[in-house]
Amino acid sequence: MRDLDELLDPVVSRRATAATHTPDFAAIERRGRQRRRRARAMAAGAVAAVAAAIAFTGTQVVQDSAAPEPVGHLRGFEGPDGELGRAIDSGDASVANKAWSADGSTLLTTWSVSLLDPDNPRSFAPAVGYTIQTGEQEGWSKVYRNEVFFVPSSPVADGVFAVGRRGELNLVSPGGIREMRVTKPPAPFADLDGDALVADWERYGGYLLIDVGAGHASEVKELSDVAPASCGTSASAALSNDGDLWALRHADGRYELVRTLPDGGSTSFVFANQAADPLASIIQYEGRVGVLWIATGGDLRVSVPNQSAGDVTTYNYPDVAKSGLTNAGCTFDAVVLPDGRLLIVGPSTLARSTDATWTRAETYPVPAELRKTTTGGLGAVGEEACAATYDPYDSREIDVPDPICSTDGLRWHTKPTAP
Amino acid sequence: MDDDFVRQVYEASYRRLVGQLYGVCRDLGEAEDVVQEAFAQAIQHERKFRRTDNPEAWLRTVAVNLSRSRWRRRIVGDRLHRRTHRSELVEPDLSPDHVVLIEAMRQLPEVQRQVIALHHLADLPVNEVAQAVGAPVGTVKARLSRGRAALAELLSEREEASHA
């Protein structure tokens, strides 16, 4: 046997390199691009879920008066014997929200907990908590008292959620809970890195750009004056697959979509001079971005910027959003299906584009499964489009049903959430 | 969308990174898994990847992180699927002494095995090892020292056992 100094020789790595052949890049490229698409699409949907939940719960706005706590600290979950696990077992907790991560591997469930108020044993104090489940593993958070509502759950990456509560914003994954540092004041987009945008209206009044790896959340200067979307899947800002920031603006009677490049350069695309309903939503698929908006007369339009020519092409999707509101209380709800087709769900009519160009659509009655489910927004989960579910009345009595999912937008099935 | 930058780095660095990760993972197939996963993450976070000063170091850090146990468990689930995309596996042509060395390294604590593999077997300077494992240079030096001592003892025990 040779001496250790002789044995610890780079020849080992060189020979391992020599034994390796570079496989086709296409499969790896496909995996990375697919993941990027799913994460962004789900994040956009989740933003709307947050907004919708706020609209229905009517919860008081929590002021951010607490001093920031130490950051980057990993905290584990409690087990089934913790306070939340006991409350669930005893029936003192009900499901308020269920959301899948973008890759479909992880489920985050938000619970409303009824606990006796220690200061007044004859009344119940509002409390919340959440569980995270992946495969057969599950984690239970602490029970947070006197908090009626927090940002329910915004998937920001595979298996990772942004969960806000009073005084902090956390990254929650099966690996643990990590508090994010929120940087202020708003920084230029060109100075930031990020994986997803999430909305935290209560504490920050708008979007935060989340950098999962660094554990940072940043306010973005270019989004400072972007009006928050108010309903359903409406997203007034989005990150495109190639890392550009898109935002909706309304000024001087014009509605425009503003694209900000990673180097800070920007371009505006005017899509309407006057709209009957300011509700509009950004959608995207594989780098193609569009905006859904309601024109005078109630017709729904899909406008797609031509980034090289600097103009906008608009397609008409009539009769989708004219008759009242969806179950989520919105004019419409939309998602891009895994194959690139655009699915728009109105109160009674569903429109699905014939292909990924979004130029033409066919209409159908809204499927019964979607009509009877109170959804908190549509989003991409794995290879399906799913409707997250939530309790619009915060009743604390009835569990919300499991999310429903579809590959084609017409046939929906329950995605079981039991282990 | 243009992943050409990642593709160029892939073609230039893939085999070298697998070679460097071989000692960390103790298995060529697993080294390929984590390096491929690192490139998938580079595509997923292309904007961030483009802004790194040293893309290969970024990939190495990601791959080392992925090689850690909890991530390895997660990768295993995809392994069957990914094997179809893996290059045809040929074990490195190592001398018998080096095979014994790799076997002995399997018994080292993970943090010691990582730094020994990256510094001694992959010939990376200590500061680059520190970057890859996310530890201060002093910590890396201490792990190298303790790892070498433990490795010498393990090899000595093996030699005694073989003589007996």
Q: Which CATH number covers residue B18?
A: 1.20.140
The pLDDT, as a whole number, for residue B61 is 86
How far apart are the C-alpha atoms of A380 and A338, rounded to whole Å? 7
pLDDT at B83: 38
CA dihedral A270, A334, A347, A313 (to 10 degrees): 30
Residue written as token pair 């004219």: A322
Distance between CA atoms of A5 and A116, rounded to whole angstroms? 67
State how far Cα A16 lies from the chain centre. 42
Residues of A in contact with B6 (CB under 8 A): 29, 32
Beta-carbon separation of B85 and A12 below 8 A: no
Contacts of B91 in chain A (CB under 8 A): 19
Of A17, A39, A193, the CB nearest to B16: A17
- Copy the structure tokens of residue A331: 């004019």
| Count of pairs with CB atoms under 8 A, one residue in A, one in B | 143
Structural domain boundaries, residue B137: 3-163
Contact B40 A28 (CB under 8 A): yes
Q: Tell me the shortest Cα–Cα distance from B91 to chain A, in angstroms.
A: 6
Q: Distance (Å) from the C-alpha of residue A262 to the closest C-alpha of chain B?
A: 8
Q: Strand, helix or coil at B8?
A: helix
Residues of B in contact with A286 (CB under 8 A): 1
pLDDT at A231: 59
Q: Write the residue in B22, B40, B121 that is nearest to A35 by C-beta.
A: B40
| B33 vs A23: CA distance, rounded Å | 11
Q: How far is A44 from chain B (nearest CA, A)?
A: 16
Closest chain A C-alpha to B147 CA, distance in angstroms: 12
- pLDDT average, residue stretch A395-399: 47
Those residues with Cβ within 8 angstroms of residue A390's Cβ, 6 or more apart along the chain or in another chain = A49, A52, A53, A56, A96, A97, A98, A152, A374, A375, A376, A400
Chain B positions touching A241 (Cβ under 8 A) are 1
pLDDT the model gives residue A296: 78
The mean pLDDT of chain A is: 75
A11, B98 contact by CB (below 8 A) = yes
Weakly modelled stretches of chain B, pLDDT under 50? 1, 69-88
Could B43 and A36 be called an inter-chain contact, meaning their C-beta atoms sit closer than 8 Å? yes
Inform me whether the pLDDT recorded for A180 exceeds 70.
Answer: yes
pLDDT score of A187 more than 50: yes
Closest-CA distance, A354 to chain B, in angstroms, reads 23
- For residue B16, count other CB atoms closer than 10 A to its CB: 18
Confidence of residue A88 (pLDDT cuts 50, 70, 90): confident
Nearest CA in chain B to A20: B15
User: Which chain B residues are closer than 8 Å to A8 by Cβ?
Assistant: 101, 116, 120-121, 148
The yes-or-no verdict on residue A299 having pLDDT over 90 is no
A36 contacts on B by Cβ (under 8 Å): 43-46
pLDDT tens digits for B15-58?
999 999 998 887 888 889 889 988 988 887 777 788 778 899 98
Contact A19 B28 (CB under 8 A): yes
pLDDT mean over A384-397: 59
What are the beta bridge partners of residue A352?
A: A343, A362
Q: Which chain A residue's Cα is nearest to B29?
A: A20
Domains of chain B: total: 1
Contacts of A36 (CB under 8 A, 6+ apart): A241, B43, B44, B45, B46
pLDDT band at A279 (very low <50, low <70, confident <90, very high): low
Contacts of A139 in chain B (CB under 8 A): none
Instruction: Cite the DSSP H helix spans in chain B.
Output: 4-25, 28-44, 46-50, 55-67, 69-83, 96-105, 110-116, 126-133, 137-163
3-state secondary structure chain A: CCCHHHHCCCHHHHHHHHCCCCCCHHHHHHHHHHHHHHHHHHHHHHHHHHHHHHHHHCCCCCCCCCCCCCCCCEECCECCCCHHHHHHHCCCEEEEEEEECCCCCEEEEEEEEEEEECCEEEEEEEEEEEEEEECCEEEECCCEECCCCCCCCEEEECCEEEEEECCEEEEEECCEEEECEEEEEEECHHHCCCCEEEEEHHHHCEEEEEECCCCEEEEEHHHCCCCCCCCCCCCCEEECCCCCEEEEEEECCEEEEEEECCCCCEEEEEEECCCCEEEEEEEEECCEEEEEEECCCCCEEEEEEECCCCEEEEEEECCCCCCCCCCCCCCCEEEECCCCCEEEECCCEEEEECCCCCCCEEEEECCHHHHCCCEEEEEEECCEEEEEEECCCCCCCCCCCCCEEECCCCCCEECCCCC
Cβ <8 Å between A29 and B159: no
Among partner residues B23, B86, B151, which is closest to A12 by beta-carbon distance? B23
* Over residues A287-312, mean pLDDT: 85
Nearest CB to B18; choose among A16, A193, A286? A16
Q: Which of residues 59-118 of B touch A (CB under 8 A)?
A: 70, 84-88, 90-94, 97-98, 100-102, 116
- State the Cα–Cα distance between residues A176 and A161, nearest whole angstrom: 11
Q: Which pairing describes strands A333-336 and A342-345: parallel, antiparallel, or unpaired?
A: antiparallel
B2 touches chain A (CB under 8 A): yes
Q: Which of A188, A182, A224 is nearest to A203 (CA)?
A: A182
Instruction: Give pLDDT tens digits for A130-167.
Output: 888 887 678 888 888 876 555 555 677 778 888 887 77
Predicted local confidence at residue A197, as pLDDT: 85
Q: Cβ separation of A32 and B43 shorter than 8 Å?
A: yes
Is B122's CB within 8 Å of A10's CB?
yes
Q: Which range has the worst mean pLDDT, A251-255, A324-328, B94-98?
A: A324-328
Distance from the A313 Cα atom to the nearest Cα atom in chain B, whole angstroms: 20
Structure tokens at A408: 């084609």
Least confident of A139-148, A241-250, A388-397, B5-14: A388-397
pTM: 0.59
Contact A12 B94 (CB under 8 A): yes
* Pair of tokens at residue A320: 């989708």
Which chain A residues contact residue B32 at CB under 8 A? 20, 23
* Contact at CB, A15 and B100, closer than 8 angstroms: no
